[in-house]
Amino acid sequence: MKISQLGELEFITRIRHQCSVSAASVLGIGDDCAIFPCQTEHEDGLITTDLLIESVHFSTGTGMWELGHKALEVNISDIAAMGGTPLYATISVAVHADIPVIDMQAFYRGLIDTAHRHEITIVGGDTSQSPGPLFISITILGRVEKGRALLRSGAQAGDLIGLTGTLGDSFVGHKWLLSGLKDQDLTSDSSPEFLEAIKFCTERHCYPRARVKAGRALQSSGKCHACIDLSDGLATDLRHIVCESNVGAEIDLDLIPIDIRTERLARVLALDPMLAATTGGEDYELLFMIPPEAKKEMMKLLSGLGETITFIGRITSDKENIAFHKSGQPFDFNLSGYEHFSRP
Q: What is the CATH number of the domain that holds 272?
A: 3.90.650.10
Q: Are residues 251 and 318 in the same domain?
A: yes
Which of 35-39, 142-146, 314-318, 339-343 comes out lowest in average pLDDT?
Answer: 339-343
Is residue 191 a known part of a binding site? no
Asked whether residue 5 is domain-assigned, the answer is no
Domain count, the chain: 2
pLDDT value at residue 25: 56
Annotated binding-site residue? 78? yes
318 is in an annotated binding site: no
Q: Among 145, 168, 197, which residue terminates a domain?
A: 145
pLDDT at 58: 78
Q: Note the Cα 270 to chain centre separation in Å.
A: 25
Distance CA 123, CA 5 (A): 39
Q: How many angstroms separate the Cα of 183 from the Cα of each of 28, 46, 169, 201?
A: 47, 43, 17, 13
Q: Say whether 343 counts as a known binding-site residue.
A: no
Predicted confidence (pLDDT) per residue in 118-137, tens digit: 999 999 999 999 998 999 99
- Domain check: are 282 and 317 in the same one? yes
152 within a domain of the structure (yes/no):
no
Do 140 and 182 belong together in one domain?
Answer: no
Do residues 189 and 263 both lie within one domain?
Answer: yes
When mean pLDDT is compared across 19-28, 75-84, 165-174, 281-290, the lowest value belongs to 19-28
**Is 338 part of any known ligand binding site?**
yes
Residues 173, 207 within the same domain: yes
Does residue 16 form part of some domain?
no
- For 92-117, the pLDDT digits (tens) are 999 998 999 999 999 999 999 999 99
- Tell me what percent of the residues of the chain surpass a pLDDT of 70: 84
Give yes or no: residues 246 and 186 share one domain: yes
Residue 154 falls within a domain, yes or no?
no
143 is in an annotated binding site: no
Q: Write down which residue in 145, 175, 193 finishes a domain.
A: 145
What mean pLDDT value characterizes the chain? 88
Residue 226 lies in a domain: yes
152 is in an annotated binding site: yes
Distance between CA atoms of 291 and 158, rounded to whole angstroms? Answer: 7
Among 145, 172, 205, residue at a domain's last position:
145
118 is in an annotated binding site: no
- Do both 201 and 322 map to the same domain? yes
- The verdict on 177 and 324 lying in the same domain is yes
Q: Using only C-alpha atoms, what is the Rg of the chain?
A: 20
The DSSP 8-state label assigned to residue 337 in this structure reads -
Q: Would you say 232 is a known binding-site residue?
A: yes
Residue 12 within any structural domain of the chain: no
Backbone angles phi, psi at 181, to 5 degrees: -75, 155
**Domain that residue 77 falls in:** 31-145
> Is 98 annotated as contributing to ligand binding?
no
- Which strands sit side by side in the sheet containing 34-37, from one edge to the other? 34-37, 43-53, 135-145, 85-95, 121-129
Residue 25 lies in a domain: no
Does 284 appear as a known binding residue?
Answer: no
126 known member of a binding site? yes
Q: Does 248 lie in the same domain as 285?
A: yes
Q: Quick one: 273 and 175 in the same domain?
A: yes
Q: Dihedral of CA 152/157/162/163: which sign?
A: positive
Q: Tens digits of per-residue pLDDT, 38-80? A: 878 899 999 999 988 887 777 766 789 999 999 999 999 999 9
31 is in an annotated binding site: no
Q: Are 164 and 304 within one domain?
A: yes
Q: Are residues 87 and 221 in the same domain?
A: no
Report yes or no on 24 lying in a domain: no
CATH of the domain at 119: 3.30.1330.10
